[in-house]
Structure 1
Amino acid sequence: MLYPELFKQLESVRWDMDKDIPWDRFDAGRLSDEQAQTIKMNAITEWSALPATEMFLRDNKDDSDFSAFMSIWFFEEQKHSLVLMEYLKRFRPDLAPTEQELHEVRFEFEPAPALETLMLHFCGEIRLNHWYRRAAEWHTEPVIKHIYQTLSQDEARHGGAYLRYMKRAINKCGDEAKAAFAKVGVLMASARRTAQALHPTNLHVNKNLFPRDTIQSRLPNPEWLEHWLDTQIKFDAVWENKVVERILHNMSLLMDRSFQSVQELNRYRKELTASLGQRQPVPSAA
């Protein structure tokens, strides 16, 4: 089992909201209304770890090891929402999310293949790590800069934990797991070719609720994410390339094969798909 080891590792570096956040360094003159509004949106977005955890537990009922790890992931992700809300309550209480605004992002996700979902969230952790690093650079107020740096480090560690479960899946399922990971990897590393930010909170997950079936669509300002990325933190091609490079690097480690571009990963995906197709038993005439 991976859970006991991951628990020890993450417990050893866990930060304390009272002791490790330098609340006394707050500088009101360096926090703009524009910046404070984005903190509120991120606080609500982080709250969506709640429905994501419900999805993970439902779709991984046969995997008690991974389900146990969710206790760590859920706790730390909800703490991200909590520390952002605490910041607003202390310094901009008028912008603190209401309970209804938080509850709005809790809705049911449709069942999905566990391997693809695992890879999707692994890529999501990589992307969020980079988004928060860029947010820490954009903000000018010292306390929130420290908070975003802290959150970005958590997201990197979560990605590392997901990677451990992906390696375990390849050992168990072989090419089936590799094909699932390569398929989602191609999608998540192709953000420059899409009109929307590729992150789990921005993807449609319940067709019965369409178009309000993404986390972002249920925020008080559904358009905030694109504006935050493009205009505010300026998550440009240079930063997007950093995300793609990390995805390709980790895919290379997982598959024991070097991928220098999304095109190379896509060719490998096609090879796996063809190989798996050939292994399928031929149906009998009956």
Structure 2
Amino acid sequence: MLYPELFKSLEKARWNMAEDIAWDQFDPALLSDEQAQTIKMNAITEWSALPATEMFLRDNLHDSDFSAFMSVWFYEEQKHSLVLIEYLQRFRPDLAPTEDELHAVRFHFDPAPALETLMLHFCGELRLTQWYRRASEWHTEPVIKQIYQHISHDEARHGGAYLKYMKRAIKQSGLVAKQSFAKIGVLMTSSKTAKAMHPTNLHVNKSLFPQDTVQSKLPDPDWLDHWLDNQINFNKEWEERVVGSILRNLSNLFGVKIETSQQLNRLRKEFQQTIA
């Protein structure tokens, strides 16, 4: 089982919201209204770990090891939302999310193949690591800069945990797992779709389409693109870092060098043909 060791390693790295955040260093002159609004949107988005966990548990009834790991992932992701809410309640209570705004992002996700979902969230963690790193650099107020640093490091550790389950899946399922990971990898590294391909911005419930993404449930559904493009400036250089990280990890998993999305797509077709 992977869960016991993952629990220990994440427990050692865990930060404490009361003791490890320098709340007394808050500087009101360095927090703009624009920045505070983005904190609210991030807080609500992070709350969507709740329906994601419900999805993972439903679609992984066959896997008690991974399902147990969800207890750690869910706790830490909800803490991300909580620390952002705490920040707003302390310093901008007028912008703290309401319970209704938080509950709006809890809705049913349609069932999906477990291996593809695993890969999707692995890529999502890699992307979030860099998004929050850029958010920390963009913000000027020292306390929120520190909070985003903590969250970014958590997301990187979560990506590492998902990677361990991906390695295990390849040992257990071989080409079936590789084909699933390559399929999602092509989508997540494509220059035409990569920016939009994050779990919170994907359609997950056909009966609710098009209002079936986490982002569509936010008070400002258009917030994410504006945050990325005009505020934290997540430009081509940063996107290439994410894509490069995904391709390097798949190279190590598959034992073959993959440098482009096109190469990955050819490999995906080879896996598919071999399976057929």
Q: TM-score range by the shorter chain?
A: over 0.9
CA distance 1:203–1:90, change in 2 (3 Å) = same
**Is 1:146 aligned to residue 146 of structure 2?**
yes
Alignment partner, residue 266 of structure 1: 265
Q: Report the CA distance between 1:189 and its aligned residue.
A: 1.0
Q: Please show how residues 186-205 of structure 1 align to structure 2 within 5 Å.
A: 186-190=186-190, 192-194=191-193, 197-205=196-204
1:59 partner amino acid: D
SS in 1 for 2:38: helix
Q: Indicate whether 1:82 and 2:110 are aligned.
A: no
Identity across matched positions, percent: 72
Partner SS state of residue 19, structure 2: coil
With over 3 angstroms needed to count, the CA separation of the structure-2 counterparts of 1:262 and 1:195, relative to structure 1, is closer
**Residue aligning to 2:178:** 178
Contact 2:186/2:261, CA 8 A, preserved across alignment: yes
- Opposite residue 80 of structure 2, the aligned amino acid is H
Letter in 1 for 2:159: G
**Residue equivalent to 1:255:** 254
- CA distance in 2 between partners of 1:12 and 1:198 (Å): 31
Stretches of structure 1 lacking an aligned partner (at least 5 in a row): 278-286
Q: Judging changes above 3 Å, is the alpha-carbon distance between structure 1 residues 195 and 267 closer, same or farther for their aligned structure 2 residues?
A: closer
Query: 2:160 is matched with which residue?
Result: 160
- TM (norm. structure 2) is 0.99
Residues 52-131 of structure 1 aligned to structure 2 (within 5 Å): 52-131=52-131
Deviation at 1:195, TM superposition (A): 8.6
Unmatched tracts of structure 2, length 5 or more: none
**Letter matched to residue 109 of structure 2:** F
Following superposition, the deviation at residue 194 of structure 1 comes to 2.8
Q: Which amino acid aligns with 1:262?
A: S
Q: Is the CA contact 2:195–2:239 (under 8 Å) kept in the aligned structure 1?
A: no
Paired letter, 1:231: N
Distance 2:189 2:84 in 1: 28
Q: Distance in 1 between matches of 2:95 and 2:169?
A: 43
Q: Distance in 2 between matches of 1:49 and 1:227?
A: 22
- Which amino acid letter does the alignment assign opposite residue 86 of structure 1? E
Tell me how far apart the structure 1 counterparts of residues 252 and 91 of structure 2 sit (CA, whole Å).
Answer: 44
Shift of 1:196: 5.5
Q: CA deviation at 1:147?
A: 0.5
Measure the CA separation in 2 of the matches of 1:194 and 1:68: 32
TM-score for both structures, normalised by structure 1: 0.96
Q: Contact (CA 8 Å) 2:187, 2:193: kept in 1 or not?
A: no
Which residue is equivalent to 1:234? 233
* CA distance, structure 1, for counterparts of residue 253 and residue 132 of structure 2: 25
Structure 1 stretches of 4+ with a deviation exceeding 4 A read none
Q: How many residues align?
A: 276
- Alpha-carbon distance in structure 2 between the residues aligned to 1:188 and 1:21: 33
CA RMSD, 1 decimal: 0.8
Aligned mates of 2:196, 2:266 — CA distance in 1: 24
